[in-house]
Chain A
Amino acid sequence: MKRFFRELSVLGALAAVLVGMAIFAPAFFSPQPLLSLLTREAPTLIVACGMACVIITRQIDISVGSMFSVCSVCAGLLAARGWPLLLVLPASVALGALLGAVNGLLVAGLRLPSIVVTLATMVTLRQGLNLVRQGEFVNLPDRVQWFGLSQMAGQLVLVGASVVFLVALALAMRHVAAGRFVYAVGTDAEAARLAGIRPQLVTFLVFIFIGALTGLAAMMNLAQSPQVQPLSGAGLELKVIAAVVVGGVAISGGRGNLWGAFTGLLLLACVSPALIHLHIEAYWEKAIQGAIILLAVVADGLRTRKLNR
């Protein structure tokens, strides 16, 4: 109970928000809008899973938004060329993994700080995309939207797939050796090395992992609309980092789990419908996101200070 205090407190906050919505805005709980909300958040959840792994290894990746856009546009172009979806999906995942490998090589191979490396790749990818595409939209063929299923079925498939993935990964992080390596490296890289783990290899693979997941998420987003917007991934990094940090994954590495990240994401996802209900304008969203990140890290900071006394 005490061990999961942080996760449970986020769950409590989520429950409070949901109860508040049930009293003041019961329309929030009608099935169709709720399903739409979950579908919109499904790609974010996938990227958040990857981000949780990256932050647990004591790294960070702020290039996910740009990788997401690059993967979306490339996958869209392939689909528009008539590639079958079964080939576009692995292509998008592979492209994401490749971009992640570049980050991983610079961070793990050259031991550069991940924040600066991914800041550089974030801008390089974004501006490269702008340079090549000049902000053009990609029109997708009809059969891509909802994978050619009905909207309802497509939404259920996306939400279901992301939840199955979350559960599988959360269990793997706890019970599979590779998952424990991630925690070991984040807790103390030197101790992990002495225990026979190769910290740089784990870091490298984690960056590839988040890249591949970003490619997957781009595909899941692609299926939701008839066009690809090149700006669709802008700001994704903040949203995902906020969700993970709010969910109790410590930025200093080695602590936190995917259930927490999931709860954090749901909490943040409820913020914007709640804002609409409170008649707060949408311009405040970025400021509130920043404030929530600060609030979460301050809570963590106060707690570790209390524990250290």
Chain B
Amino acid sequence: MSVSPDNKNPRDWKALLTRHEMLLLYVLIAEWLFFYFAGTTTNRRGVVVGFGTLDRQFDILRHSCEIGLLALALTPVIITAGIDLSIGSLLGLCAILFGKLWHDGGLPIPVAAGLTLALGALAGGLNAILITALRLPPLIVTLGTYSLFRGLAEAITHGAITYTDFPASFLFVGQERWLGLPTQAWIFLGVALGVGLLVHRTTFGRAFRTIGFSLEGARYAGLPVARRLALVYVLAGLIAAIAAVIYTARLGQAKADAGTGYELFAITAVVLGGTSIFGGSGTVHGTLLGVAAIAVLKNGLACLPVVMRMNAAEEMSGLLTGALLLLALTASVLPKILSRFRTPHHAPAP
């Protein structure tokens, strides 16, 4: 784990216990306990159902893989002070391309999956070229590709075709367990490990933080800013394609609206995890905790009796995630705002 300057002293346990990630862990535990007690019931035959079952815990893990992957893709992007709004749409486009390559192209599943990953990286490359070569703001570029990728997915399927009937050996990836965990969780953990090493254990990660802290400064320091930024967006495209394959395997179908709105969940997870939306700092383990907090919320809500009666789990989780993002953002800037009020007016601004 990265050593931040404020807790270099290992005996400084107080600082460690009040770090952002630890605070998030407490919230996560409290959230889990709440749903454990409020969302677990016994049915008429005396069997425990709802949130408290082991199956449900595996379900949470299963459902969090796709959003988790997108959040992992976004973490380096946001650390460089960028944003990628297109990953949810790219998930949809890649799911369709994968289905089309397999179904209409007649390719075997592994080849189709490999090609899909390459196409995902290529789509990320489109973002990368526009952002680095032309120095356009990532916000508007990825807003354009957000519309473009989803539109292409709809155009390819005419808004109606859904690819189904995938072989059982492929569905194994999305619906079965391997070595005790849902199969796709292993892929998720592998990608998490890879991104974690990239961000925390290589000079690439340090370059990301430097760029996010000050783009011009990074340029003057001699960092290859354009190449590092390009890497971040290509990687995001690649990971979105992995998420698309896993999504298809879990649902057993590929359709054009796959991953709609996932970018919100992913951004929320990253911001909850303590990555600064202004760039320059952030951790992968924080993002993983953020993903867990959102996944538990999403699944826990579906187990609450009151939400089940209203049949509104989808709307509730969207609503609460949006509110959660606003809350996390506010909390992240609150110390700065408060210190501004505390500073006497005659003191020089920091």
Contact surface of A with B, Cβ cutoff 8 Å:
60, 62, 106, 110-113, 115-117, 119-124, 126-128, 130-131, 134, 238, 241-242, 245, 251-252, 281, 283-291, 293-294, 297-298, 300-302, 305
Contacts and interface: CB of A to CB of B under 8 A. Distances in A.
Contacts of B333: 110-112
Contacts of B322: 120-124, 127
B277 A116 contact: yes
Contact of A302 (B134, B147, B157): B134
* Top-3 shortest CB links A-B: A287-B151, A290-B148, A286-B151
A261 to B, nearest CB: 15
Nearest to B86: A290
A123 B136 contact: no
Given A113-B277, A123-B318, A290 B137 contact: no
Interface of B: 83, 85, 130, 134-137, 139-141, 143-152, 154-155, 157-159, 261, 263-264, 267-268, 271, 277-278, 310, 312, 314-316, 318-319, 321-323, 325-326, 329-330, 333, 337
B219 to A, nearest CB: 15
Contacts of A242: 147
Q: Which of A110, A127, A297 has the most CB of B within 10 A?
A: A127
B130 A127 contact: no
Contact of B267 (A119, A284, A286): A119
A293 B143 CA distance: 8
A120 B325 contact: yes
B254 to A, nearest CB: 16
Nearest to B160: A283
Given A106-B326, A110-B329, A287-B151, 18 more contacts: A110-B330, A110-B333, A115-B83, A117-B326, A123-B322, A130-B318, A242-B147, A245-B140, A251-B136, A287-B154, A287-B155, A289-B147, A290-B150, A293-B147, A294-B145, A300-B136, A301-B134, A302-B134
A245 B271 CA distance: 28
Contact of A124 (B145, B154, B271, B323): B323
Contacts of A302: 134
Contacts of B154: 283, 286-287
B278 A113 contact: yes
28 contacts: A60-B139, A106-B329, A106-B330, A110-B329, A113-B277, A119-B85, A120-B268, A120-B326, A121-B322, A121-B326, A123-B264, A127-B315, A127-B318, A251-B139, A283-B154, A283-B158, A286-B155, A287-B148, A287-B152, A289-B151, A290-B145, A290-B147, A293-B147, A294-B148, A298-B134, A301-B134, A301-B136, A305-B135
Nearest to A62: B143
Nearest to A292: B144
A110 B321 contact: no
Nearest to A128: B319
A116 B144 contact: no
A284 B157 CA distance: 10
A283 B277 contact: no
Contact of A238 (B135, B143, B157): B143
